[in-house]
Structure 1
Amino acid sequence: MDAIRTYLTETTGLTHESLNKIILSLIIIFILWLLRLIILRIVWRQTKNVKTRYQWKRSISMIIPFIGIILVGSVWVQAFRQFGAFLGLFSAGLAIALKDPLTNLAGWFFIMFRKPFIVGDRVQIGEHAGDVIDIRLFQFTILEIGNWVEADQSTGRIIHLPNGKVFMEAQANYSTGFEFIWNEIKVTLTFESNWEKGKNILQQIINEHAEHISKDAEKEIFKASRNYMIYYHHLTPIVYTRVKDVGVQLTIRYLCNPRKRRGSENEIWQNILLQFKNHDDIQFAYPTTRFYKYGEEKN
C-alpha cells in the first residue's frame, strides 16, 4: 500500500496528505452510492406503489448528496481554510460562469417552499402545459397535454423544464387552490329555429351533467379563500344567448374537472344530438353561400 502511495505521489506530484484525502473522499462517495442503491432495492421489493417508490427515490436523491457534501467537506475543511482567499475569488468566478444552474437551484428552493405547484398538479408554464411528474434540483418534468391533441389530453411526450422558468414565465395551476375550470360549448341554431326551446333543452342537459359539481365547487372556493381572494356569485351552469351572422349562438358555460373536460363535452354533445333529433323546429346553423342570377326574383 505504501508503495502504491509513493508511486502515485511521484506520478501526480500530490502530497501524501492530499492523496489520503482524495482516497477517503472517493470511499465516502462509494459508500453513500452503495447505501442509496441498497435502500432503493429494499423499497422496490417491499412495495409496487408508484407514488411510494417515487417519494423514496426523490427523498434519497436529496438526502444522500447533502450528507456526502458534509462528509467530504469535513475531510477537506483544513485545506479550504488554507486557500480561503483563492476560494473566494474562485467562487465569484464560478457564480458568474454557472449563472443558469444557480438560478435553477434557486428555482428549486422557490418551488419547494413557496409551492406554486407540486407533483401531480396540472400546470402551464409559458407555452408548455402538462401534469407535473417529477421535481429535481435543476429541472422539473411534465407529461405534456394539448399541443396537437385537443381538449387538454396527454400527448405522451415528457418535457423537462429548468426550474429557473418559475422566475421568468407565468405559471397557471389547474389543480391547486380551485380544482375546477369553467368550460364552454357553443351551439349555433338557424334564425328559423325555435331557439327558445333549444335553449331550454340545453339548460336541462347541462343541469343533469354539472349541477352536482357546483356544490363541490362551493366547498373548494371556501377552502381557497383562505389563501386567495377567489369568489364567484354564480356557480350553477348557465346558457347564454348571442346573435351571430349565421344564426343564434347558445353558449353552455359550466364547471368541470380539468382532467375530464373532453369526457364531459363528449357526453353533453351526445345528449344534444339525441335531443335535437326529436325536434324538427330546431336546426343547427352553419356558414352557407347563396347565389342569385340577375333578373330572377328572390324567393
Structure 2
Amino acid sequence: MILIKIVVFNLFLSLSIFASSLENNSSLENNSSITKNESKPTQTTKKFVKERGDIKVLNKKLETIENYLNKDILYAKYNNHQTYISVQRELNEVKAKLKRANQFHKIEDIAKLQIKEKSLENQLELLNDFKNPPFITLTKPNELKKQPEISSPFHLFKAFTYLKQLKSAKEEYANELKKLNELMKNLQEKENIIKYFQSIYGKKYKEEQLQEIKKELKEIRSAYDIASSTNKVYNKRVDDAIRNVTTSIKAQIKKLINIALTILLIFVFSFIFKYFAKKTITDNQRYYMAHKVINFTNLFLIIMVLLFYFLENATYLVTVLGFASAGIAIAMKDLFMSMLGWFVIVFGGSFHVGDRIKVYKGGKSYVGDIVDISFLRMTILEDVTLTSYLENRRSGRVVFIPNNYVFTELLANYTHGKIKTVWDGIDIPITFDSNHKKASHIAREIVRKYAKGYTDISRKQLNLLRNQYSLKNINVDPRIYTFIEKNGIMISCWYMTNSYAALTLRSNISALIIDEFNKEDDIKIAYDTHIVNYKKDEVLKPKKEDGEEESIS
C-alpha cells in the first residue's frame, strides 16, 4: 500500500517538474529572443556561447539526478511527508474559513468549503502513513533486544541467532545512512547545477525550485548530522553487545571441547579396561559381567560429567531431588527396584549369563537360559524341559524378567556357581503281585550305570562349594525308593543329570527300565485298568452320564 502511494505522489511530482521545465524552457526561449534583438551581446550570452558544451553535460547530469530522485524511496517518503504537512496546513485554513462562514451564514461558501474539507480529509487519510518524518528511524533507531543468557552449550543456537540479528541491524542502519548521504549529495549536485544555470540565465531561473532544494537540503543535512552522531553511539552499543555475546560463545565452545575431551578420555580408559579384561579373564561369564560393569560405569560417568558441566548449581539439583525423591520413589517404585535388583544380581553373584533358571509367576513356570542381564531386566530363552512337557507344551520363547523379581518372586537357579547338575527322578508303577525287589535292583543298576558320569561331576562340584556354603550331606549316588500307592507299587528312581539336558537322560533311562521290566515274567508295569463282569445272555446298554454316552469296548 505504501509503495502504491509513493508511486502516485511521485507521478504528481514528475508532472509538476515537467510543467516547471516547460515553463523554464519558454523563459529560456524568451531570453534568447531578447539577446538576438539586442545590438550588443551581454556578458551572460557570451558565457553561454562559450560554455555550451558544459551546459549539455550538466543538463544530462540534471536529468540523471532527477531520475535518481524519482526512484529514491527515501526521497519519495520525504516528499509525501511534505505533501502531508501542506495538506494539513491547507485543511486547517479551510476549517478556519468554514468556521467564519458559519458565523456569517454564507451558505454558498459553506458548501464549497465543506466539499474542499472532505477532499482534503480524504487526502490526509491516504497520506496518513507519511505523517511522521521519514528520517525519524535514523535519528531514533530501534532499541537493541535484550541479550540472551548464555550459560550452557544448549544456548549456543540462540546466541548465534542474536549475533546475526545484531550484525544485520548494524548493516541495515549503515545502509540507510548511506542512502541518506547519497540523497544529500544528489540534492547538493542539483543545487550547484541550478546555481550554475542562474549564473548564465539569471537569478530568476528556477529560483523557486532552488529555494525548495535548499530547504530540503537543510532538513536532510540536519537529519544526517543527527543520524551520524546516533550511528556512532548505536554502533558502539552493537559492538559491545557483539563482543559480550562472542565472549560467551567462546566460553561455551571451550566448555564443549572440555566435555568432548573428558568423554573421549572415559572411552579410552573403558577400551583399556575391556582389553585387559579380555586378556586376563578366561571365564566367559565373568568376562561378560565385567564387560557389563565397565559399560555401566562409562554411562554413569558420562551422565555425571554432563550434569556437572551443564548445571550451574549442582547443590540446587541435589535439593530438588531430595524433595522430589519421595514422590519419585512411589511413582517409579518398580523402576528403582529393578535398578537395585541389578546391583544385587551383578554383585551378589546369584545369577549369571548362561545360567538355567526357573521363574514362578502367576501360577506358571518358565524355564530357560539367561542370555542377557541389563540394567532393568533379565532375558531368558526357553528350552525344551520337563516343565515344557508337563505344563506349557511350548518352548523357544524369549522371556523378559524384571530385576525386581529377585525381591518379590521365586527364582530357581539350576546352575548356580559351579554346579552344573541337578537331581532328576523317574516314577515307574508295578502291580502289587510283581517282584518289587527285583524291580528295584534292575532300576538301580540301570540308573547307576548311565548316571555315573554326572554323579562323579556332582560330587566334585559340591566339594568345591564347601568353602562357600555349609554343606552337611553331599551324597549324590543314585537313589531308589519303593512306595505303596493305591494302584500299585511305585519304584521311584533318583539320579544326577545334566542341568541343560535332563530330558535326554530321562528318556534313555525310562526306555531301558521298561525294556528290562518287560523281560521279566514276575514284574508287570501297572496302569489304570477296568474289569467288567457280565452275563452271556444279558444285553448291555450304554449308561448316560451328564448327557453323554459311555462306550464300552
* TM-score of Structure 1 vs Structure 2, range by shorter chain: 0.7 to 0.9
From the superposition, tell whether residues 151 and 196 of structure 1 become closer, same or farther in structure 2 (CA, over 3 Å).
same
Q: In structure 2, what is the equivalent of residue 141 of structure 1?
A: 379
Q: 2:491 aligns with which of 250, 257, 274?
A: 250
Q: In structure 2, what is the equivalent of residue 260 of structure 1?
A: 501
Mapped to 1, the partners of 2:376 and 2:163 lie a distance apart of 37
State how 1:50-199 maps to structure 2 within 5 Å.
Answer: 58=292, 61-81=295-315, 85-127=319-361, 128-145=366-383, 146=385, 149-150=388-389, 155-177=395-417, 178-199=419-440
Mapped to 2, the partners of 1:55 and 1:87 lie a distance apart of 30
Greater Cα offset, 90-99 or 260-269: 90-99
Mapped to 2, the partners of 1:86 and 1:233 lie a distance apart of 55
Q: In structure 1, what is the equivalent of residue 533 of structure 2?
A: 292
Deviations 1:268-298 (A, max 9, x none): 1221233234323322111111123489xxx
State how 1:2-81 maps to structure 2 within 5 Å.
Answer: 5-7=159-161, 20=252, 24=256, 28=260, 58=292, 61-81=295-315
Counterpart amino acid of 1:24?
L
From the superposition, tell whether residues 2 and 198 of structure 1 become closer, same or farther in structure 2 (CA, over 3 Å).
closer
Greater Cα offset, 253-262 or 227-236: 227-236
Q: Displacement, 1:59? A: 5.0
Q: Displacement, 1:63? A: 3.6
Deviations 1:89-133 (A, max 9, x none): 345543443222111111111111111111111122333332111
Mapped to 1, the partners of 2:429 and 2:499 lie a distance apart of 25
Q: Displacement, 1:222? A: 1.9
The unaligned stretches of length 5 or more in structure 1 are: 44-50
How many residue pairs match? The answer is 286
Greater Cα offset, 209-218 or 89-98: 89-98
Say if 2:354 and 2:370, in contact at 8 Å, map to a contact too.
Answer: yes
Mapped to 1, the partners of 2:432 and 2:311 lie a distance apart of 83
Mapped to 2, the partners of 1:94 and 1:170 lie a distance apart of 27
Q: Name the one with the larger helix percent.
A: 2
Q: Name the one with the larger strand percent.
A: 1
Greater Cα offset, 231-240 or 135-144: 231-240
RMSD between superposed Cα atoms in Å = 4.3
Q: Displacement, 1:75? A: 0.7
Mapped to 2, the partners of 1:239 and 1:252 lie a distance apart of 5
Greater Cα offset, 245-254 or 94-103: 94-103
Say which SS state the counterpart of residue 491 (structure 2) adopts: strand
From the superposition, tell whether residues 164 and 82 of structure 1 become closer, same or farther in structure 2 (CA, over 3 Å).
closer
Say which SS state the counterpart of residue 149 (structure 1) adopts: helix
From the superposition, tell whether residues 234 and 111 of structure 1 become closer, same or farther in structure 2 (CA, over 3 Å).
closer
The unaligned stretches of length 5 or more in structure 2 are: 1-154, 165-244, 276-283, 537-553
From the superposition, tell whether residues 279 and 122 of structure 1 become closer, same or farther in structure 2 (CA, over 3 Å).
same
Mapped to 1, the partners of 2:342 and 2:441 lie a distance apart of 51
Mapped to 2, the partners of 1:143 and 1:62 lie a distance apart of 23
Say which SS state the counterpart of residue 424 (structure 2) adopts: strand
Q: In structure 2, what is the equivalent of residue 278 of structure 1?
A: 519
Deviations 1:198-237 (A, max 9, x none): 2221121111112343333222222222222233264211
Say if 2:444 and 2:480, in contact at 8 Å, map to a contact too.
Answer: yes
The alignment's TM-score, normalised by the length of structure 2, stands at 0.44
Q: In structure 2, what is the equivalent of residue 236 of structure 1?
A: 477
Q: Percent identity?
A: 27
Mapped to 2, the partners of 1:83 and 1:121 lie a distance apart of 41
Say if 2:386 and 2:503, in contact at 8 Å, map to a contact too.
Answer: no
Say if 2:288 and 2:353, in contact at 8 Å, map to a contact too.
Answer: no
Mapped to 2, the partners of 1:233 and 1:164 lie a distance apart of 32
**Bigger relative contact order, structure 1 or 2 (CA pairs below 8 A, ≥6 apart):** 1
Say which SS state the counterpart of residue 267 (structure 1) adopts: helix
From the superposition, tell whether residues 82 and 286 of structure 1 become closer, same or farther in structure 2 (CA, over 3 Å).
closer
Say if 2:308 and 2:314, in contact at 8 Å, map to a contact too.
Answer: no
Mapped to 2, the partners of 1:222 and 1:147 lie a distance apart of 28
Mapped to 2, the partners of 1:228 and 1:2 lie a distance apart of 60
Deviations 1:49-70 (A, max 9, x none): xx69966863563243123113
Q: Displacement, 1:83? A: 5.8
Say which SS state the counterpart of residue 72 (structure 1) adopts: helix
Structure showing greater radius of gyration is 2
